[in-house]
């Protein structure tokens, strides 16, 4: 025996992997190992036993050109080899565990269907060959009263393949044996026990024109056919594995050439009566196939197989996780070397996904490949928070961070350092554990800030989620001018006074205008909305100002309506107007001005006397002229 390399605990980003992330979840490789001898070995089926160890069944080539033998190995949860065994010529396709932690293996040898039972140490308990050599046992399940197998049997009369069914008891004796088929080649690759005690069989049917369809049939506990249906398109479609759906029905995985690019992973969900619920393809640029499917502990499904896409080295291990609706959650390609395939997957008792397959080793052919991957995930809530704060205030934002993965992980918080935010926090959380964290902002200048904080897995930085904080730091302000003025007015006259209002804050604001005075003026508007730095004029009108012994004093108060602080802290400004009503003082001034302007008439000749003198002068002049003539 040669162990090709030591177990490697990775817990690191897989640099050579390709990921498709949805909802901040993905997987990472925990450990991987290869097992084998100087010849070629392949792992085709894996189970977890009652002790938490893993048992793998497959095929080993004893020496070049000699044919193959049944190959079993047992490893612990970390991938360390416990034992490996080789048995008689043939090959093992599937295995299950008995009630006393023994293992029953289904396969084939040169004489027909080959079944062996071994104890927990790998020692042979019994072996059975069920001929003729046209029978193959590909899949086995433990049921009440024994074990049920399915596979294929060649129909010598028609020259085609039929589905082969076999039930044996715990000592290997046949309880019943059946075959179901028609005029075309029909083969079964998987059998599971349904909730009602019936058995669902999946495989394929190949037509004479080399096209194929997924074949699904339901049989009762005695091997009698209940229904049989085909699914797929017009090319070659096949089913390799199935599982009971979490909600209802069944989910089947395989491959299709009818849909997608080349050969694609094909998955479909059906009801208990075989009615199709959905079918999906998961395709790359070349060929992909799913060989096994398993229900997961988080009510989703894990599929494994092979891919030639995503920078594969000829072909690489391909892992897909989907939800109950068939939607892709993530996919992962594990690059090692050429020709790496995953053949069988289980969901372990600790929530990880353990698969077996084969990996090419130069000079030795293939070795058995066993790996464990686990879900990593992180969630944060709420995803977005927004808040307005007043300039000079501090603000706290509370978020919850949750480990949605399957193993302990550490998460770092990384900020974009915008708006003075700097975070240097790391939280270690167990699966499903959550913690509340507070993010604080202080001494921010007025303005609008969008801060993104990324929560990153330490195991795999590709696992991350982002929370967004939208923060508006508002500096409310208003300025009135003039702040104080005086105006004189005559009794009963109108007066118009103009104030200038300016928004000195950082945001658009609406201001209310109120006037405090014994008089009731008319204000041109009670509210005004201004952009930052914008200015406008407001008129205050007094109609018919009454007389008063003392000046009137009025105060215009302008207050921010958006400032949510208490009344005495709101942004506001005021302007005082003093009105002097000029009544008595004005008349006295007019009388004084009149007395100063009137001339002194005591030394002047009255106007009447001037007319008399003028008359006398004209009479004299008339008489003089007459005498002259």
How much is the average pLDDT of 311-323? Answer: 88
Give me the percent of the chain exceeding a pLDDT of 70.
84
- Give the CB-side neighbour count of residue 446, counting CA atoms within 13 A: 12
Domains 382-474 and 478-585 share a fold: yes
Q: Which range has the top average pLDDT, 23-27, 321-325, 390-394, 403-407?
A: 321-325
Query: pLDDT tens digit string along 602-614?
Result: 545 555 555 555 6
Residue 511 has pLDDT above 90, yes or no: no
Phi-psi region of 169 (alpha: psi -120 to 50; beta: other; left: phi over 0): beta
d(CA 270, CA 216): 10
Whether the Cβ atoms of residue 177 and residue 199 lie closer than 8 Å to each other: no
Token pair for 251: 């989910």
Least confident of 67-71, 187-191, 260-264, 417-421: 417-421
In the chain, where the domains are located: 8-378, 382-474, 478-585
* pLDDT value at 485 more than 70: yes
Residue 495, pLDDT > 90, answer no
- The 10s digit of each residue's pLDDT in 341-396 is 999 999 999 889 999 999 988 767 889 999 999 988 899 999 898 988 888 788 88
Banded pLDDT at 588 (limits 50, 70, 90)? very low
Instruction: Report the pLDDT value the prediction gives residue 107, as an integer from 0 to 100.
Output: 96
CATH superfamily of 382-474: Immunoglobulins (2.60.40.10)
CA dihedral 295, 324, 249, 218 (to 10 degrees): -60
Contacts of 123 (CB under 8 A, 6+ apart): none
Each residue of 519-540: pLDDT tens digit?
677 787 889 999 988 999 988 8
Give me the percent of the chain exceeding a pLDDT of 90. 46
Higher pLDDT among residues 523 and 138, named by residue? 138
Least-confidence region, from 92-96, 98-102, 124-128, 451-455: 451-455
Does the pLDDT value for residue 12 go beyond 50? no
Phi-psi label, residue 274: left if phi above 0, alpha if psi -120 to 50, beta otherwise: left
| Long-range contact set of residues 513-516: C-beta below 8 Å, sequence gap at least 24 | 513/538, 513/556, 513/557, 513/558, 514/556, 514/557, 514/559, 515/540, 515/554, 515/555, 515/556, 515/557, 516/554, 516/555, 516/556, 516/557
Which pLDDT value is given to residue 175? 97
Q: What is the predicted pLDDT for the residue at 345?
A: 97
- C-alpha 160/C-alpha 150 separation (Å) is 17
Task: Give pLDDT tens digits for 187-223.
Answer: 999 999 999 999 999 999 998 777 889 999 999 999 9
Residue 45 tokens, joined? 């089926």
- The listed range with the strongest mean pLDDT (44-48, 154-158, 412-416, 441-445) is 44-48
Q: What is the pLDDT of residue 341?
A: 93
pLDDT of residue 593: 53
Stretch 555-570: mean pLDDT, rounded? 76
Q: Which contacts (CB < 8 Å, 24+ apart) does range 215-221 have?
A: 215/163, 215/186, 215/187, 215/188, 215/239, 216/242, 216/250, 216/252, 216/270, 216/274, 217/163, 217/180, 218/194, 218/272, 218/274, 219/165, 219/178, 219/180, 221/143, 221/197
Matching residue, tokens 């604080």: 440
Q: How far apart are CA 338 and CA 362, in angstroms?
A: 9
Q: Contact, 350 vs 328, CB < 8 A?
A: no
CA-CA distance, 7 to 296, in Å (whole number)? 25
CATH class belonging to 478-585: mainly beta
- 264/256 Cα distance (integer angstroms): 5
Q: How far apart are the first and last CA of the chain?
A: 179
Least confident of 353-357, 491-495, 557-561: 491-495
For residue 418, name the pLDDT band (cuts at 50, 70, 90): low
Would you place residue 589 in the very low, low, confident or very high pLDDT band (cuts 50, 70, 90)? low
Give the pLDDT band (50/70/90) at residue 318.
very high
Reading the block at residue 290, the tokens are: 């799913």
Rounded to whole angstroms, the Cα distance separating 136 from 108 reads 5
**According to the CATH classification, is domain 8-378 in 2.130.10.10?**
yes
- The confidence score (pLDDT) of residue 275 equals 97
Give the ranges where 133-254 is alpha helix by DSSP (H): none
> CA angle, corner 50, sides to 47 and 52, nearest 5?
70
pLDDT tens-digit series, residues 255-312:
999 988 889 999 999 999 999 999 999 988 889 999 999 999 989 999 999 998 887 7
Average pLDDT over residues 445-473: 86
Residue found under tokens 């299950």: 96
- 439 falls in which pLDDT band (50, 70, 90)? confident
Q: What is the pTM of this model?
A: 0.71
Residue 275 exposed, middle or buried by CB count within 10 Å (0-12, 13-18, 19+): exposed
9 has a pLDDT exceeding 50: no
Average pLDDT over residues 408-430: 76
Considering the chain, what is the average pLDDT of its residues?
Answer: 84
Q: With 80 as the cut, is the pLDDT of residue 594 above it?
A: no
For residue 592, what is the enclosing H or E element?
helix 584-597
Residues 6+ apart with CB under 8 A from 390: 473, 474, 475, 476, 563, 564, 565
Q: Closest by alpha carbon to 481, among 563, 573, 578?
A: 573
Lowest-confidence region among 5-9, 51-55, 111-115, 274-278: 5-9
* pLDDT value at 336 more than 80: no
Q: Give the whole-angstrom CA distance, residue 558 versus residue 349.
A: 70
The encoded tokens of residue 31 equal: 């450990």
| Rounded Cα–Cα distance for residues 362 and 314 (Å) | 14
Q: Name the residue with higher pLDDT: 434 or 582.
A: 434
Nearest-10 Cα torsion for 319, 293, 458, 469: 100
Nearest to 93 by CA among 281, 241, 251, 267: 241
Q: Read off the pLDDT of each residue in 120-140 and give the average, rounded to a whole number.
A: 95
- Our CA dihedral for 331, 334, 337, 340, rounded to 10 degrees, sits at -70
């Amino acid at each position: 025996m040669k162990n090709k390399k030591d177990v490697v605990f990775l817990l690191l980003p897989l640099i050579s992997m390709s990921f498709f992330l949805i909802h901040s979840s993905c997987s990472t490789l925990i450990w991987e190992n290869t097992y084998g001898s100087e010849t070629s070995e392949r792992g085709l089926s894996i189970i977890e036993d009652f002790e938490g160890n893993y048992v793998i069944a497959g095929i080993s080539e004893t020496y070049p050109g000699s044919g193959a033998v049944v190959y079993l190995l047992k490893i612990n949860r970390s991938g360390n080899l416990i034992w490996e065994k080789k048995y008689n010529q043939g090959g093992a396709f599937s295995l299950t565990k008995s009630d006393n932690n023994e293992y029953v293996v289904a396969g084939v040898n040169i004489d027909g269907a080959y079944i062996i039972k071994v104890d927990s140490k790998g020692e042979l308990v019994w072996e059975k060959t069920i001929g003729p050599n046209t029978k193959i046992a590909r899949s086995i399940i433990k049921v009440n009263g024994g074990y049920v197998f399915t596979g294929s049997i060649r129909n010598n009369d028609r020259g085609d393949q039929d589905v082969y069914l076999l039930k044996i008891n715990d000592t290997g004796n046949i309880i019943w044996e059946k075959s179901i088929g028609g005029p075309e080649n029909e083969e079964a690759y998987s059998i599971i026990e349904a909730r009602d005690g019936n058995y669902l069989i999946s495989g394929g049917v190949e037509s004479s024109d080399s096209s194929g369809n997924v074949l699904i049939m339901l049989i009762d506990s005695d091997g009698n056919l209940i229904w049989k249906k085909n699914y797929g398109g017009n090319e070659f479609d096949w089913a390799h594995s199935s599982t009971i759906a979490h909600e209802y029905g069944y989910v089947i995985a395989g491959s299709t050439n009818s849909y997608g690019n080349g050969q694609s992973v094909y998955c479909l969900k059906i009801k208990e009566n075989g009615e199709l619920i959905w079918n999906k393809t998961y395709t790359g640029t070349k060929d992909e196939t799913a060989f096994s499917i398993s229900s997961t502990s988080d009510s989703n499904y894990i599929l494994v197989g092979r891919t030639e896409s995503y920078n594969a080295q000829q072909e690489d291990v391909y892992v897909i996780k989907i939800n109950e609706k068939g939607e892709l959650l993530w996919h992962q390609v594990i690059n090692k070397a050429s020709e790496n395939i995953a053949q069988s997957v289980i969901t372990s008792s600790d929530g990880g996904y353990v698969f077996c397959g084969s990996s090419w080793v130069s000079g030795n052919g293939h070795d058995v490949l066993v790996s464990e991957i686990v879900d990593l995930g992180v969630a944060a809530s709420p995803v977005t928070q927004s808040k307005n704060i007043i300039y000079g205030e501090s603000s706290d934002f509370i978020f919850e961070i949750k480990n949605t993965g399957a193993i302990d992980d550490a998460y770092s918080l990384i900020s974009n350092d915008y708006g003075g935010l700097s975070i240097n926090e790391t939280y270690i959380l167990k699966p499903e554990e959550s913690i509340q964290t507070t993010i604080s902002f202080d001494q921010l200048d007025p303005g609008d800030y969008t801060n993104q904080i990324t929560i990153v897995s330490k195991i795999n930085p590709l696992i991350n989620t982002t929370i967004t904080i939208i923060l508006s730091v508002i500096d409310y302000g208003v300025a009135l001018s003039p702040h104080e003025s005086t105006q004189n007015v005559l009794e009963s006259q109108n007066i118009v006074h103009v104030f200038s209002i300016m928004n000195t804050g950082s945001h658009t604001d609406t201001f209310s205008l109120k006037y405090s005075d014994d008089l009731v003026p008319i204000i041109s508007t009670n509210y005004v909305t201004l952009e930052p730095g914008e200015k406008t004029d407001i008129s205050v009108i007094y109609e018919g100002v009454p007389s008063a012994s003392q000046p009137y004093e009025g105060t215009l108060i302008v207050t921010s309506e958006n400032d949510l602080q208490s009344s005495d802290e709101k942004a506001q400004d005021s302007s005082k107007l003093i009105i002097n009503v000029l009544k008595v003082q004005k008349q006295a001034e007019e009388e004084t001005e009149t007395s100063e302007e009137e001339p002194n008439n005591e030394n002047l000749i009255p106007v009447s006397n001037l007319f008399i003198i003028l008359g006398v002068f004209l009479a004299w002049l008339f008489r003089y002229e007459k005498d002259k003539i």
